[in-house]
Structure formats: structure tokens, C-alpha cells
Structure 1
């Protein structure tokens, strides 16, 4: 920071603030009088006067070294190491914050996404189009006030871009015509002609009502929203959909502050996706929303096990009549005012008529990151007044996470650090351990094809001993050992003398083993991908990822999420074969957790 005034401030607080600016400009904890003069635009004499005053006040100390200039440093080192500093990069639409206060993080979460952190002090936020489109504000003036609260004042270049995106999100609206059919309205004739009618065809629009309004083909609403979103114009859905019969329901739990915020923001928007780590209570918040709406509800889940969990949670935490709760999947097929169905069943043509015939007031998409897949996205065409998504991480390796918000609604979330700081969710420690090959396995890996290399690295025989040693470090911890390959799961289960739960395990046996783990009858399970999503294992304290590192970043978050509960001492150990592509995958998977503030360390086994 360069000051135009060459006179040091008389106010003591302003004087130490000037010194801090000089420290930051020099990027080191000690400075000379020349450094201060250069950074602040002072004369050498003015800089010396400032330093003399600070030394006399006891706020700065000096050291004279033979043959060198006198150097100065802050008397209280905390002055230079714990001070919040916000630096905007308008052209990149980024904001970097050192030592952000809780207020700053909360404000940033309203219009930006935490993209990266060093796990200690530095946070890098990105402001994307979708973040501005989904900002929870009634007016741009309100949003601009929040931005200025973070930056400490106006930043015209950044504000102009944010305003342009704010306006862009309000150009198209789906409404219900007085005669009952759906229409698409544009803010201007040119937008309808040059954008909507250029992007949309006869399968989405029947024809114009006037230059700024068009009839919508029945059932094409979801496709219209997706197409225009991809063109850079999110559509506001203000249709007057029938909510069906009223369903009396109340919640027996008291929502936490952030869950109440999620609920209120959803009710204001009418649709949205709750984004938060496992254990943060997204299911409870969803039940709170159901209780507020008192509307017939369809809950979509990826597995029968998760359907059963939802059924139990609804019975435990609401006053719904048991006869009003049904499940619809391969094991049971019952349509009730609250129905829990699997995505696979709800996507099948022969079953869709049953779901379409019900007037849902709310559809809940659990594990919402699944919705953009070609099969599951068919469920987005089901009609409902309100749509609610739940996910720990919307990341998709095909970069189609924006489809989640197009098909369901805008993101609604809480900074993970807020939940960590409040103790609602345990912040785990994560360690990547590189496991060397034994000589024979190393030679086999070197001669293998690319696909075989991946499998050989994942199933490295040395990992069996590494898993055993890891479990021995915490003999009293309840542990989950994740594997990708069934043969490896069998070998590990035999070596550890514990059960292996996979997709081949019968549903009844799978449910029995998970229940035994919850009760404490079992303290270790080897599991395949069936435990990645949704399965509630609330007492798990240790996750050992033995293989599966070629999967998505989201998978790493989900597996860590199995132990992110409000009980202490949670840890994740990632075993990656040294010198293989698996090591790179391990770093990629864990980067997303690191960006959320979770500390990630690395070490090579046998090198201690």
C-alpha cells in the first residue's frame, strides 16, 4: 500500500496500522526504515520519526547489527500473524483472505465459493456466475452491501460484474397462465427472440403469445431450464403447481441455527440444494422443511438401505402416521403421502406413471450429485411445487455439477469451518501414507499394461500389513476399511477376521452387519462402495482407504464424511502405492477436503 501523504499519522492506532502495512509490503517480519519509507511513500526522515514513536510506545522493537541497518519488528508478533487481510482480484473474480474472521467467512458464503485453503490462514474464494445467481438477497443493493462488508468498501469493477450476473439471472421466468398452462416470459422482446427462440425448439415452445411471451410444451419445463441455464440465463420458476392434499406433520427436534437458516432460505427460494458435510444434519433440515410445507412428499435415494434409514428417521423425528410413510423399490412397492423411492425405480418408464399421478408438494433428491447422470436425470421431470437436493459435495468429474442446480435449485450451504468451529461436525485429520511395493509386486507392476497397473497398485499386497498396523494404532476405534476390488476385500476381511460388506452381500445380511456396527457389536468393517453414500454409521472414528483412489474427488469427501460426526478424534488414513498413479489420485481426492480447511499430511511408510 502506498500512501500519498508523506506525513506519519499522529493517531497511535493509525501509526501501528501503517507499520503493519509496511510489514505486509515487505513480506517479511522485520523491516528497515528504508523499507517503511518505500512501502508507505514517506521520506526517510518521516519513516524514522514513525518508527521512533512506535518504539517509544512499546509497540515496535529494534535491533542494531554491526555493519547493517537497524531493523524493526512488531513487539507483539500476533499483530502481524493473526490479522485479517482481504485482497480482491476483480479481473479474476476472486477474493483472497488471510486469517478471515467468522463474520467474513459467513458473508463470503453468500456470494462466493471457497476454492482453496492452505489449512491454516489463507483462503481463496471464487465468485462464479452460479454463486451470484443463487445469492440469498432480495435486491442487488442488498447483495452489494454484503460484498462491501467483506471488502471494506466499494470495488467498482467487481461490483459491475456481479450486478451484470444478478440481472442475467432475472431475464426469464416460467409462470402459470390464468388458463392453467405454462408460459415462458422474457424481460424484453430481444431476449425472447435472440436467446430463447434461438436456443429452444418446437419440442420446448409451442409458439408466441406476444413478442416477450411463449407457450411452453407440457412437460418441457425442466429441459427449458437446463438449456437456458447452459446458455447463461437461469430461469426463475414461479409456476403455481398443485401441492396435493395437505399433510399434517411436525418435527420433534429443534433445528440448529444453521439448519434453521437452510430451511428459511429454501422456503424463500422455493427450491434449492443443501450442501454440507456428512453429519451436519441435512436429513433433519429436510424433515424440518417437510414439516413447514405440510405437503405430500417424494424422497428419492440411491439405495434400499438409505430408503430404510429415511423411513426410520421419519418415524423417530416426526409425528407422521406410520400408515402415511411408504417405500417403493425392489423390496417393497407402496405409494403413500410420503414415499421413499430409489432413483432407479423412479426412472423406469413402467413405474413413472405411478409417481406422475401423485400431486407432490415436495420432491427430495438425496445424494443430489447423482441427478445429472443420464438415467437419474429423468427424475427431474417429475412435477412438484418444491424441489430439495441434499449432498455433501456437488463435485462431478464430468464438470456437470451446474446441472444439479439447473434441475433442482440453487445451492444453499454453510461454510464447513463454521460447523467445525461450533463443534457440530468433527474436523478429521487426514494422512496419506505411501506404501512401497515388495520386489516381486514392483516387477509385475512395471511390466503391466496401464489398466493392470491401476489394479496392481490398488491391491498392493503390502497394504494388508499397512491396514493392520493402522488399526493397531487405534485399537479402541470403530473403523471402516474401504476397498475398490472384491478380491482385495475378501483378503483383507480374512486377514483381519472381520466381515466384508459389498454389493454382493444380501440386503438382509448387509442391514444386519451395519446395525451390529452401530450397536458396537462389531468395531471394524471392510466395505466396498456400498458405504460411500448415505449409510448412517454415526460412531465410526477411523476410515482407512485401502483402494478406490482412482475415483472422484467427491468419493474422497464421502468416505471422509463417514466419520465427520460431533464425536472427537476422527481420522482418515489413505493408503496409496508409492511410485504409482495411485499416489497422484490420492492427492487429487484429498485436495477437496484440504480446500474445506481439513488438514492433510503425507508420509512414506518405512521412511521413519
Structure 2
């Protein structure tokens, strides 16, 4: 029996059913039992439960395999003994990939960067045990959104990762791949939109059951329906929720023509992004910080050649886009307008905030303009209730940009439904090519200053506990030590709480930039940092997104926003530039929720192949 032909749940994995003779267990049946319990080691109690044996019978069968050399056993604190295959023990310092096809999970011990990067293409990182064991889940939406042009290319990636063929798992993946290709939107020769299904059964039992007359006007044939104008977004959302992603093959509007020329040469992978976008008409550029997504977006603007609406979350980003367009293209200042609370200009290139563009009183202006392209910067904002209406602009080419298209509310699937499929490059390829610096990331666990804080923490409420853990005075000493270790490195220290930032600024004699600081003072400090007149700044949450934060060699996250994966990646991304060395330290107070928060903050980076080291601070007392 093999992993491909597991024992049925109601059968014992033993080779003999005679309860009067000693139980025997084959190594293949042992692997079946491992899959059933869902972890790479097993106890005698777990085997007994799975096989419906006594504990003594299970213990004896496992010991027999130890005697034959096929298993090893080890005593651990949480259970008297666990068993695992001998070859795992012999290969303790090498990567081990253990698939659990029935559960659609993959556990990888000591994964290489290549394996993590490949898994990120079709699986979701669930958690990391310690620093070495990564557990991935393959969800249906991961297959629906896998960035491949054909199932064969996806299958090739899967087989590069898994140690042996998994027919049952591969069949399920193929079913999900095909499921995402049962419906498509296309443009009829008379100009209106048609929803097409691969069969009359799907059109009748799914589409016409799930959608109402405000979305489908009338049937055209058994497999085709006339789509009500402007209902494309709601149709895609509804069928996605029903388990059927819709392929969008419409002829999108090109808008009023606008000639744009880019004043620089694109890198090879950026040219590939542009080509893939032009072929599909919509998509989300997903790449690490520093990979040049904004420049690639300008290349797409040049290729589309139509008037463009750029949506951003803040006014600061609107101003940055204007400056970048003027610096990197032949556009003039008269061709670029900003539309937000501080300005109301509609130009061939208009940069607007999501909030303003979604307001009813402004929406008609955006709907009436013949845009050829809509650019959604920081596209992870689109699923939020405030910004979601901007996704209704479905008739144009739609381009999303984000290093971290993830959301803590798990609504990232709306990004690909409303904007388009992911278009990206494996992070490790960019690391290897030297385009982006792979950061050296470390979680450093800091002990309590017991005399001052331990008693106070124990009696505090939940929000107070988070603040107390963030403000642990030993973190100040740890930051001072890290800065000393890295000499003259340009460093950004992130602090989420104003009181903590003020305390760090006073203790370390370093300026603290927060939303309370006047804009002119903030820009002066950033300018000094860029020009090398200052080598260290402390920055609040205001630096996570929406301001032109300078790049650094060193990032120290002294506190974080409840384990936000996007925040962790954004802050680490401030160091991920081609030149210099990239180092990231995340400080977490031992015995608090910060331990879990630190792990979660770095989960997205781990899923992209970046190794995270965990160490304990050696500090026990304030100096």
C-alpha cells in the first residue's frame, strides 16, 4: 500500500487483523497513519486510536519497526514517546517535504528558499512551528488564482516541490483549475456583454439561479445570457461566492488616446509584466518592495496609450505619483491632475484618492470620462467597504499594484475578482539576480523588566497589556545594542504607540516622526535621512503607507499592529533595495501576545522564501 492508495478510514493500518497475535505495521501503513493524525510524528496513543488497537499493541508494532531500522523514537516533554521515519532523522539538516493529500496540506521541515517560493504560487502558509516547520494549505482559491497560463505549468511546479506524485491531490487541483474556467464574460459583436457557460446545465442551474434580472437581461442561447450594462462586477462577485470564478475576456475600452513615452528602460521581468497585462487586459502586479511595480505601471500606461485614472489611498501618494510621472515620462504638468479633498482637477492623467472617487457626488465625473486604464495603487484597499465601489469601473483596463495583496479579514479574493488575476515574479529570482536585496530577518524575544512591569502587566486589561508589552523598557536597551552592532547603517525604528515613540526618542536622542508632526518638519527630517545627514529615525504607523519614506539598511520593529502581515512586509520592505545589506529585527516581549504577533507579522515574508531566525535577547536587567 502506498500514499496514493491509503487504508480506508474503517480499516486498521495493520497487516494482520488477528487480535490473538502481535500486531504488525508496514512502513507504508505508518505513513497512512501520519496523514490521518496530520503531523509528521505520531504517538502510540494516536496510532492506537486510528487503528482501533490497544495502546500496548500500537506500542509493540512501533517498536518492531524501530527494531527493523525503519523508524526512530524520541522522548519529548508533551508525550512520553513519538515515532518518526528513520530517513528523516538521518537527514535532520536537510529539507523534508511531507504531503497530506487527503487534508490538502503540506508540511515542510527546513524548507529551502526555492521550495517556499514555489509553494507560494499555489498554496497558503498557515503557520510556522518554531523556526523550521512550515505548514501549507492548498485552498480552492489558491488554485483559481495560481499565476499560470496552463494547468501543465502549474502541475510542473507542484511536482518540483512534492517528493513523489500525488494522483488524488493532483486530480482535485485539476478539478479546481477547470472550475475556474466554466464561465466567461465576452463582448458581443453588437457591443454588449455576454455571460457564457461551458454547458447549458451550468447556465441554467448555476448562473440563472444565482443571478437575477437586474444582472442577466435575457437568454441568448442555452449557454449564453445577455448581461445588464454595469453589472459585470456584481456578476463576478456572486458567481465567485458560488464557487465559479469568471474569466473576463471582454474587449475593454481603450479610452481617449494619450501618447506617453517612458524615459527609462524596463528590466526583463518588468517587460514580461507589461506583456502579460496587455494580453489579459487586467491584473495585479505582485512583487517584493523595490521591484519597480510603479515603473512597470508606467510601462503599461505607455502600452495601453489611453487616458488613465490612478487611484491611491492618500493625498501624499497622489503627490508622489505626480512627481514620478513628471520625472520618468514625457508627460507635462498640464496633463496631470489630482482629485481629492485638496484639489479638483480632471486631466488626461488624473490621480484621485479611493475615498473621493467612491463618493456619489464625484462618481459621475469619473464614470463619464473615457478612461483607457484604471490603476489601483495599494490594491489591497479595494475590498474594504469604503473603497469597494471603485471596483465597479469594470469596462476599462484595470491594473492593481501591491507587494502584499493580503488582508487580515481574508477578503483578498475580492482583489482578483474586481481587478484581475495576479501577475508576478518569484521573489527568489529577483533576489538571485540582485534586483532586490533579500533581508536577513530576526525575531528577538526580549524579557520583562520584572521590577517595573511584571506585576502591572498581570493585572492590566487587554489593550493595556499590548501597550505595556510594546513599551517594555528593555526594548530601548535592545535597540541601542542593535544600532551599535550595525555601526553607521541607515536605520528606521518603527513604534506603533505615540507614548512609546516619544520615550524612545528621549532615551536615544533620535527624532520621532508621527502624524502629529508638522509636514514641513517631517519632510526636512526625511530629506536629511536621504542625504546622509541623519542615519536614524523613529517612525510611527504613519510611515507604513502613504508617505515617501526613505529606504534604509536596517529596520527595527519595536512594536506592531496586532500581527498585521502587510505591515510587517511593508516595514521590512524599506530595506529591500539592490544596494547594501538588508536587516530586519522584530522585537517581542516574552510571555505576551507580541510573540504571536511577531510570528504572524512575518508570515507573508516567510511564504515568499525569506528565512526568519528566532533568538532570545541576552539582556535581563536595565543598565
CA 1:325/1:219 → structure 2, altered by over 3 Å: closer, same or farther? same
Q: CA deviation at 1:124?
A: 6.3
- Quick check: 1:187–1:212 contact (8 Å CA) kept in 2? yes
- Quick check: 1:251–1:287 contact (8 Å CA) kept in 2? yes
The aligned residue for residue 468 of structure 1 is: 480
Alignment partners' CA distance in 2, 1:456 and 1:118:
26
From 182, 192, 195, the equivalent of 1:184 is 195
Q: CA deviation at 1:150?
A: 5.9
The aligned residue for residue 371 of structure 2 is: 360
- Quick check: 1:538–1:563 contact (8 Å CA) kept in 2? no
From 552, 557, 561, the equivalent of 2:569 is 557
* Of 335-344 and 371-380, the range deviating more from structure 2: 335-344
The aligned residue for residue 462 of structure 2 is: 450
The aligned residue for residue 321 of structure 1 is: 332
2:419 pairs with 1:408: yes
From 373, 388, 396, the equivalent of 1:385 is 396
The aligned residue for residue 133 of structure 1 is: 144
- Quick check: 2:563–2:598 contact (8 Å CA) kept in 1? no
CA 1:412/1:117 → structure 2, altered by over 3 Å: closer, same or farther? farther
The aligned residue for residue 184 of structure 2 is: 173
Q: CA deviation at 1:380?
A: 0.6
3-state SS in 2 of match to 1:247: coil
Alignment partners' CA distance in 2, 1:454 and 1:159:
44
Q: CA deviation at 1:559?
A: 1.1
3-state SS in 2 of match to 1:91: coil
CA 1:305/1:313 → structure 2, altered by over 3 Å: closer, same or farther? same
2:302 pairs with 1:291: yes
- Quick check: 2:301–2:308 contact (8 Å CA) kept in 1? yes
How big is each residue's C-alpha offset from its partner over 1:423-467, in whole Å with a ceiling of 9 and x where there is no partner? 222222223231413423322222222222222222334433433
Alignment partners' CA distance in 1, 2:115 and 2:449:
47
Q: TM-score, normalised by structure 2?
A: 0.78
CA 1:282/1:203 → structure 2, altered by over 3 Å: closer, same or farther? same
CA 1:559/1:104 → structure 2, altered by over 3 Å: closer, same or farther? closer
Alignment partners' CA distance in 1, 2:335 and 2:206:
45
- Quick check: 1:182–1:239 contact (8 Å CA) kept in 2? yes
3-state SS in 1 of match to 2:344: coil
3-state SS in 1 of match to 2:465: helix
CA 1:248/1:500 → structure 2, altered by over 3 Å: closer, same or farther? same
CA 1:513/1:351 → structure 2, altered by over 3 Å: closer, same or farther? farther
Alignment partners' CA distance in 2, 1:117 and 1:449:
28
How big is each residue's C-alpha offset from its partner over 1:77-100, in whole Å with a ceiling of 9 and x where there is no partner? xx9789887765443445667898
CA 1:156/1:577 → structure 2, altered by over 3 Å: closer, same or farther? closer
2:398 pairs with 1:399: no
CA 1:120/1:290 → structure 2, altered by over 3 Å: closer, same or farther? farther
From 580, 589, 596, the equivalent of 1:577 is 589
- Quick check: 1:119–1:595 contact (8 Å CA) kept in 2? no
How big is each residue's C-alpha offset from its partner over 1:385-413, in whole Å with a ceiling of 9 and x where there is no partner? 22111112222111111111111111222
The aligned residue for residue 349 of structure 2 is: 338
From 493, 498, 515, the equivalent of 1:481 is 493
2:414 pairs with 1:427: no
3-state SS in 2 of match to 1:395: coil
Q: CA deviation at 1:234?
A: 0.7
The aligned residue for residue 614 of structure 2 is: 601
Alignment partners' CA distance in 1, 2:194 and 2:427:
39
Q: How many residues align?
A: 550
From 539, 544, 560, the equivalent of 1:548 is 560
From 219, 226, 235, the equivalent of 1:208 is 219
From 237, 243, 247, the equivalent of 1:226 is 237
The aligned residue for residue 507 of structure 2 is: 495
* Of 121-130 and 535-544, the range deviating more from structure 2: 121-130
Alignment partners' CA distance in 1, 2:503 and 2:116:
46
Alignment partners' CA distance in 2, 1:383 and 1:414:
26
2:443 pairs with 1:439: no
- Quick check: 2:492–2:556 contact (8 Å CA) kept in 1? yes
Structure 2 unmatched ranges of 5 or more: 3-30, 32-39, 41-64, 71-85
- Show the 5 A alignment for 1:108-119: 111-112=122-123
2:525 pairs with 1:525: no
Alignment partners' CA distance in 1, 2:351 and 2:334:
13
- Show the 5 A alignment for 1:134-149: 134-141=145-152, 143-144=154-155, 147=158
Alignment partners' CA distance in 1, 2:590 and 2:101:
41
2:382 pairs with 1:371: yes
* Of 514-523 and 295-304, the range deviating more from structure 2: 514-523
Alignment partners' CA distance in 1, 2:594 and 2:108:
33
When the two chains are superposed, the root-mean-square deviation of aligned CA atoms in Å is 3.7
- Quick check: 2:253–2:397 contact (8 Å CA) kept in 1? no
Alignment partners' CA distance in 2, 1:101 and 1:500:
38
Alignment partners' CA distance in 2, 1:143 and 1:430:
30
Alignment partners' CA distance in 2, 1:492 and 1:136:
44
Structure 1 unmatched ranges of 5 or more: 3-24, 28-33, 40-72
CA 1:119/1:425 → structure 2, altered by over 3 Å: closer, same or farther? farther
The aligned residue for residue 14 of structure 1 is: none
Q: CA deviation at 1:108?
A: 5.9
Alignment partners' CA distance in 1, 2:454 and 2:509:
27
- Quick check: 1:518–1:537 contact (8 Å CA) kept in 2? no
Q: CA deviation at 1:375?
A: 0.5
3-state SS in 1 of match to 2:260: coil
CA 1:203/1:439 → structure 2, altered by over 3 Å: closer, same or farther? farther
CA 1:162/1:478 → structure 2, altered by over 3 Å: closer, same or farther? same
From 179, 189, 195, the equivalent of 2:206 is 195
Alignment partners' CA distance in 2, 1:133 and 1:248:
35
The aligned residue for residue 160 of structure 1 is: 171
Alignment partners' CA distance in 1, 2:279 and 2:102:
32
* Of 130-139 and 111-120, the range deviating more from structure 2: 111-120
The aligned residue for residue 10 of structure 1 is: none
Alignment partners' CA distance in 2, 1:441 and 1:388:
49
Q: CA deviation at 1:374?
A: 0.6
CA 1:153/1:225 → structure 2, altered by over 3 Å: closer, same or farther? same
From 502, 507, 522, the equivalent of 1:510 is 522
Q: CA deviation at 1:506?
A: 3.7
- Quick check: 2:446–2:619 contact (8 Å CA) kept in 1? no
